[in-house]
Amino acid sequence: MKRVAVIGGGISGLAAALTLCQQAGRFEVCLLESSSRVGGVLETVRDGPYLIERSADNFATLIPDALELSREQGLADKLIRPAVDNRQAFVLHRGRVLPIPAGFSLMQPTRVGSILATRTLSWAAKLRLLGEFWVPPRTSLEDESLQSFATRRLGRETYENLVEPIVSGIFTADPATLSMQATMPQFFEMERKSGGLIRGHRAARKQDAAAAARRASGARYEQFVAPRDGMSSWVADLASRLPAGCLRLETPVLGLQSVPGPAGTTWEITTANEKLAVDAVLCATPATVTAQLLRGPLPQAADIVAGIPYASSAVVALVVDRSQLSGRLDGFGLIVPRKEGLSTLAVSYSSNKYPGRVPQNELLLRVFLGGALSPQTVERSDDELLELASRELKRILGWQGTRAKWQAVIRWREAMPQYLVGHVARMQQLDSYLAAFPTLKLCGAAYSGVGIAQCVRGGRRAARELSEFWNDHAQVN
Domains (ranges, CATH) in the chain?
A: 2-42+230-308+420-476 (3.50.50.60), 58-85+310-417 (3.90.660.20), 103-215 (1.10.3110.10)
Strand pairing partners for 81? Answer: none
What is the rounded CA–CA span in Å between residue 147 and residue 156? 9
User: Nearest-CA neighbor of 120 among 154, 95, 137?
Assistant: 95
Q: Beta strands of 336-444 (E only): which ranges?
A: 344-349, 362-370, 406-417, 440-442
Nearest alpha-carbon partner for 225 in 58, 455, 424, 397: 58
Q: What is the pTM of this model?
A: 0.94
- Please, are residues 13 and 30 in contact by the beta-carbon 8 Å criterion? no
**Residue 2: enclosing H or E segment and its boundaries?**
strand 2-7
**CA 327 to mean position of chain CA atoms:** 28
Nearest to 453 by CA among 146, 41, 102, 59: 59
pLDDT at position 210 is: 53
- Rg over alpha carbons for the chain, rounded to the nearest Å, is 23
DSSP codes, 8-67:
--BHHHHHHHHHHHTSTTTEEEEEE-SSSSSBTT--EEEETTEEEESS---EESSSTHHH
Helix (H), strand (E), coil (C) string for 227-290: ECCCHHHHHHHHHHCCCCCCEECCCCEEEEEEECCCCCCEEEEEECCCEEEECEEEECCCHHHH
Interatomic CA distance for residues 131 and 174, integer angstroms: 26
Q: Which of 232, 99, 106, 93 is nearest to 169 (CA)?
A: 106
pLDDT of residue 218: 47
Neighbours of 428 (CB within 10 A): 9
Torsion sign (Cα): 39, 42, 47, 49: negative
CA dist 150 and 129 (Å) reads 10
Identify residue 190 by its one-letter amino acid code: M
pLDDT, one tens digit for every residue, the chain (477 residues): 899 999 999 999 999 999 999 987 899 999 999 999 999 999 999 999 999 999 999 999 999 999 999 999 999 999 999 999 999 999 999 999 999 999 898 999 999 999 999 999 999 999 999 999 999 999 999 999 999 999 999 999 999 999 999 999 899 999 999 999 999 999 999 999 999 999 999 998 887 755 545 544 445 667 999 999 999 999 999 999 999 999 999 999 999 999 999 888 999 999 999 999 999 999 999 999 999 999 999 999 999 999 999 999 999 999 999 999 999 999 999 999 999 999 999 999 999 999 999 999 999 999 999 999 999 999 999 999 999 999 999 999 999 999 999 999 999 999 999 999 999 999 999 999 999 999 999 999 999 999 999 999 999 999 999 999 988 766 555
Q: Phi/psi at 218 (nearest 5 deg)?
A: 70, -130
Q: C-alpha 306: how far from its chain's center?
A: 20
> 10 Å Cβ neighbour count for 309?
17
Instruction: Check residue 475 and give its pLDDT.
Output: 59
* Number of neighbours of residue 264 by Cβ within 10 angstroms: 14
What is the reported pLDDT for 216?
A: 44
- Residue 410 CA, chain-centre distance (Å), reads 17
- Cα angle 450, 30, 476 (rounded to 5 degrees) comes to 90
84/79 Cα distance (integer angstroms): 15
CA 321, 327, 329, 331 dihedral sign is negative
Report the pLDDT value the prediction gives residue 208, as an integer from 0 to 100.
72
Query: Exposed, middle or buried, 142 (CB in 10 Å: 0-12/13-18/19+)?
Result: exposed
| Single-letter code of the amino acid located at 392 | E
